[in-house]
């Protein structure tokens, strides 16, 4: 089985993220997806706006809004938000690899994150252990990215009220918990 690790801040998870998950599964790029909300991402200018618990809950709700045949192939893994201190992909990968020893693990990254991959902690070691699936993101270019017609959307746009491209459950959660209110 090919397992895709799809990490991100998911602050909040939105329809662009769900589109990536759907395409990864429908195109057979991976057989299962682990959605991994970041704990304390090191290469971001700011900490996430929502708490780890809120981002985890929103991810779980968003997965329930996927088509039923996809839901069973997607799981939210809280490993990074439960970890104290900075989140490093290699530590997450090593822990996940112990849980899924017989699976090939693919690391799913957007072309925006790929631009900074040389700055990742222990990247040379990580690249020897994992296969990489770079997803083309509008506005970012790389010659190794897989084009899945990604939606031109960012969580920043959602937080600023510039887009409402959220699954219904996530939109309700944000409203009920007064998240991203300026």
Query: In this structure, what CATH number is given to the domain that contains residue 146?
Result: 3.40.50.620
- In a domain, residue 141? The reply is yes
> In angstroms, rounded to a whole number, what is the distance separating the alpha carbons of residues 154 and 173?
18
12 preceded by a cis bond (ω within 30 of 0): yes
- In a domain, residue 17? The reply is yes
**153-178 residue pLDDT tens:** 889 899 888 888 999 999 999 999 99
Longest CA–CA span in the chain (Å) reads: 46
Residues in the chain: 182
pTM of the predicted structure, to 2 decimals: 0.91
**4-50 residue pLDDT tens:** 999 999 999 999 999 999 999 999 999 999 999 998 766 556 678 89
| Residue 74 predicted with pLDDT over 90 | yes
Helix/strand/coil for 167: coil
| Residue 58 predicted with pLDDT over 90 | yes
Q: How confident is the model at residue 127 (pLDDT cuts 50, 70, 90)?
A: very high
Can you give the pLDDT at residue 43?
Answer: 53
- In a domain, residue 69? The reply is yes
Closest CA to 174 of 44, 31, 40, 61: 61
- In a domain, residue 119? The reply is yes
Number of independent structural domains in the chain: 1
Share of the chain above pLDDT 90, in %: 69
- In a domain, residue 120? The reply is yes
> In angstroms, rounded to a whole number, what is the distance separating the alpha carbons of residues 74 and 124?
28
- In a domain, residue 149? The reply is yes
Q: CB atoms < 10 A from the CB of 103, how many?
A: 15
Full domain range(s) for residue 74: 2-176
- In a domain, residue 181? The reply is no
- In a domain, residue 77? The reply is yes
């Amino acid at each position: 089985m090919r397992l895709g690790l799809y990490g991100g801040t998911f602050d909040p998870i939105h329809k662009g993220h769900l589109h990536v998950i759907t395409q990864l599964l429908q195109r057979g790029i991976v057989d299962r997806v682990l959605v991994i909300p970041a704990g304390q991402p090191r290469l971001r200018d700011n900490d996430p706006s929502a708490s780890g618990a809120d981002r985890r809950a929103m991810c779980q709700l968003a997965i329930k809004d996927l088509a039923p045949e996809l839901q069973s192939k997607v799981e939210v893994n809280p490993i990074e938000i439960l970890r104290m201190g900075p989140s490093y992909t290699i530590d997450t990968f090593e822990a996940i690899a112990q849980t899924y020893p017989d699976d090939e693990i693919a690391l799913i990254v957007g072309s925006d994150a790929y631009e900074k991959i040389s700055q990742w902690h222990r990247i040379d070691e990580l690249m020897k252990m994992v296969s990489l699936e770079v997803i083309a993101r509008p506005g970012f270019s790389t010659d190794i990215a897989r084009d899945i017609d990604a939606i031109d959307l960012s969580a920043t746009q959602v937080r600023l009220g510039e887009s409402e491209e959220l699954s219904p459950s996530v939109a309700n959660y944000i409203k009920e918990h007064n998240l991203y209110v300026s």
